Structure 1
Amino acid sequence: MKWFSRAADTGKFAAITQTLNELQSDGLTLSIEELLRYQSKTSLIDLKASRNQQSRMSGNYLSRSKGRGMEFDEVRHYQHGDDIRAIDWRVTARTGKTHTKLYREEIERPVLVATDLSTSMLFGSQLLCKSVQAAHIAALVAWHAKARGDRLGGMVFNETSHQECKPRSRKQGVLHYLHHLVTMHAASFANQQALAARDFVSAFADNCQRLRQLAKPGSLVYLITDGHAIGSESVRHLSQLSRHCELIVCLITDPLEMALPSSDQRLNVAMTDGEQRQQVTLGDQHAAQNYQSKVDGLMAARKQLFRQAGARLLILSAGESLEQQLIDGAHQWIR
Structure 2
Amino acid sequence: MKTNIDITSWFSNSHSNGFELGLKELLYYKAKSQLLDLKPKGQIRSPQAGQYLAPHKGRGMEFAEVRQYQYGDDIRAIDWRVTARTGEAHTKLYQEEKERPVFVFTDLSNSMLFGSQLLLKSIQAAHLSALVAWSATQRGDRLGGVVFSEHNHHELKPTARDKGVLAFCHQLCDVHSASLKNRDQQSNSHFNENLRRLKHLAKPGSLIYLISDFSDLNDESFSLLEGLSRHCELIGCQVSDPFEHQLPEYSDAIEIQGAQASWTLPLGDKKFRDKFAKRAEQVFSTRLRRLSRSGMTMLNFSAALPLETQLAR
TM-score by length of 1: 0.84
Task: Please say if 1:121 is aligned against 2:106.
Answer: no
Q: What's the counterpart of residue 145 of structure 1?
A: 136
CA distance in 2, matches of 1:20, 1:208: 33
Is the 2:234–2:296 contact (alpha carbons within 8 Å) kept by the matching residues of 1?
Answer: yes
Q: Is residue 220 of structure 2 the alignment partner of residue 233 of structure 1?
A: yes
Report 1:110-259 matches (<5 A).
Answer: 110-194=101-185, 197-200=186-189, 203-259=190-246
Please point out which of 257, 275, 295 is paired with 1:310: 295
- Which residue does 1:67 correspond to in 2? 57
Q: Is the 8 A contact 1:60 1:106 kept in 2?
A: yes
Deviation at 1:182, TM superposition (A): 0.7
Aligned to 1:11: none
TM-align CA RMSD: 2.2
1:37 partnered with 2:19: no
**Whole-angstrom CA distance in 1 between matches of 2:299 and 2:82:** 51
1:28 is matched with 19
Paired with 2:106 and 2:49, the residues of 1 have a C-alpha distance of: 28
How far 1:43 sits from its partner (Å)? 1.7
1:73-84 maps to which residues of 2 (within 5 A)? 73=63, 75-79=66-70, 82-84=71-73
Q: Deviation of residue 100 (structure 1)? A: 3.5
| % identical equivalent positions | 42
In 2, the alpha carbon distance for the partners of 1:16 and 1:186 equals 24
- Report the more deviating stretch, 69-78 or 316-325: 69-78
State which of 319, 323, 328 in structure 1 corresponds to 2:308. Answer: 323
Call closer, same or farther: CA 1:78–1:179 in 2, change over 3 Å.
Answer: same
Q: Does structure 1 retain, via aligned residues, the 8 Å contact 2:104–2:145?
A: yes
Residue 293 of structure 1 aligns to which amino acid in structure 2? Answer: K
Note if contact 2:62-2:97 (Cα within 8 Å) is conserved in structure 1.
no
Q: Which has the higher contact order (CA 8 A, sep 6+)?
A: 2
Shift of 1:324: 1.3
Q: How many angstroms does 1:72 deviate by?
A: 6.6
Contact 1:89–1:99 (Cα < 8 Å) also in 2: yes
The size of the alignment, in residue pairs, is 305
**2:252 aligns to what?**
267
In the superposition, relative to structure 1, how do residues 226 and 72 fare at CA in structure 2: closer, same or farther (>3 Å)?
Answer: closer
Partner Cα distance (1:240, 1:16) in 2: 41
Q: What per-residue deviation string (whole Å, max 9, x for no partner) do you get for residues 64-106 of structure 1?
A: x343344473543224xx4255575683997363334423222
